[in-house]
Chain A
Amino acid sequence: MQQIVVVDFGTGNLHSVSKALQHVADNASVVVSRDADTIGNADRVVLPGQGAMGSWLAAMSRLGLGEAVARALDNVPVLGICLGMQAMLDHSDEDGGVEGLSIIDGTVTRFIRPAGDAGRGFKIPHMGWNRVHQARCHPLWNDIEDGSRFYFVHSYYANPVRKVDIVGTTDYILPFTSAIAQANMFATQFHPEKSHTQGLKLLTNFVTWNGSYDPD
């Protein structure tokens, strides 16, 4: 039986993620863990994240999980969610500036609300159901219609340098990157675990994915 490990840095609500994974993965055990060996031996790893990126990454190093996460990123299918996506980049402006994991070239910046009436409809955080346009084919988009809505809640967004790393985009104030992928890593700004049928489809695709992806 495959083991899916949801990495627990103690900073957010992981119950939603693990419950949704349990719901779609009949033949897997889903474990929430902050144990380096458990993470290092997992068949699949999920990096969920809420709150602030600085404290999230600080918790990762304090718990001594940096190496285990790096090993997972080298070897098994990894799904990053929200901060778990933003952490893949080089740098975030949050918390006065934080260095990320540098898996994807680029930075994370805050939404800026347009001044005056133009900004009226654009509250921050970007919260609710918005469309995700599939910028590239990917096994995790299987059976999900292009432009489907997913649930978002965030104030910062990723700016990958290389177009090839972008697999999903969404419009809010400006078109921004809502999903990234590279080799065995896939990450979303939205919350598939809170995104009803489409979200559960994405999680189903993740738990059955062999971890290979060729952007060409």
Chain B
Amino acid sequence: MALAKRIIPCLDVDNGRVVKGVNFIDIRDAGDPVEVARRYDEQGADELCFLDITASSDLRDTMAHVVEEVAGQVFIPLTVGGGIRKLDDIHRMLAAGADKISINTAAVLNPAFVEEASKHFGAQCIVVAIDARQVAVEPSPRWEIFTHGGRKPTGIEVVEWARRMADAGAGEILLTSMDRDGTRDGYDNALNRHVSDAVSIPVIASGGVGGLEHLADGIIHGGADAVLAASIFHFGEHTIGQAKEFMADRGIEVNA
């Protein structure tokens, strides 16, 4: 196996600033997205993910400007998500320099949108973001899709949904455990394994990273193809380089 497992820092951007809620409560300012992106690029990030959490759609142009500025300086894949509802939203972000677009709520409201987007722009640039919560434990564990930042249940079972999105032309799945997000307790690797084994497209593990061992566990125990994290990198606790060294020591192939 020569294909490296990817480490993807995620930047939550609110009106042009990187923010990260810790346990959903205090939103800490983590800086200028362009500066943060450059720092991760220098540290050897494999990709970058920007999630626009700006509440008002009037301010969405701010995000396009951020992407444009980053894309002129950072030459690794950029994924942009948050508030993507129409083909025109995708077009605008690609035109700004994004490489992949992450679709979340719009996919749940209108699954045909994913198919349409994939046909139009190619599966390589369509990431379907899934926010899941566990609703039943062993012996028959079950996870369901939630929207609106993990608050609104949909009753849709996660594997069924992941398969459906793969069939619709998603190129990749960004899988976030809403139970773990913000807790620093590590990924929900039962969920990751469950979904990764069920689909043939790559799965990015997300939600709950509090230390480097969690990244390695996402690959080894969760079967993920890539691992996403935010706060452990934002506040200088760890560098991407340290994460890669740690993962390599655990026998994981990384791009170092």
Contacts and interface: CB of A to CB of B under 8 A. Distances in A.
B71 A19 contact: yes
A15 B97 CA distance: 5
Contact of A196 (B5, B76, B98, B197): B76
Given A125-B201, A129-B46, A149 B122 contact: no
A130 B225 CA distance: 13
Contacts of B72: 19, 22-23
Interface stretch (A67-75, A116-124, A159-167, A180-188): A116-124
Nearest to A82: B124
B6 A129 contact: yes
Interface-central residue, B77, B123, B197, B202, by most chain A CB under 10 Å:
B77
Given A120-B223, A125-B202, A130 B75 contact: no
Interface magnitude class on chain A: 35 or more
A12 interface: yes
Interface residues of B, number: 35
A195 B41 CA distance: 11
B172 interface: yes
B172 A127 contact: yes
Contact of A194 (B2, B77, B95): B77
Given A12-B122, A128-B225, 8 more contacts: A15-B71, A124-B200, A127-B171, A149-B4, A155-B123, A194-B75, A195-B76, A200-B75
15 contacts: A16-B97, A22-B72, A23-B72, A52-B122, A113-B200, A123-B203, A124-B200, A124-B201, A125-B202, A126-B3, A127-B124, A129-B3, A130-B2, A131-B2, A194-B77
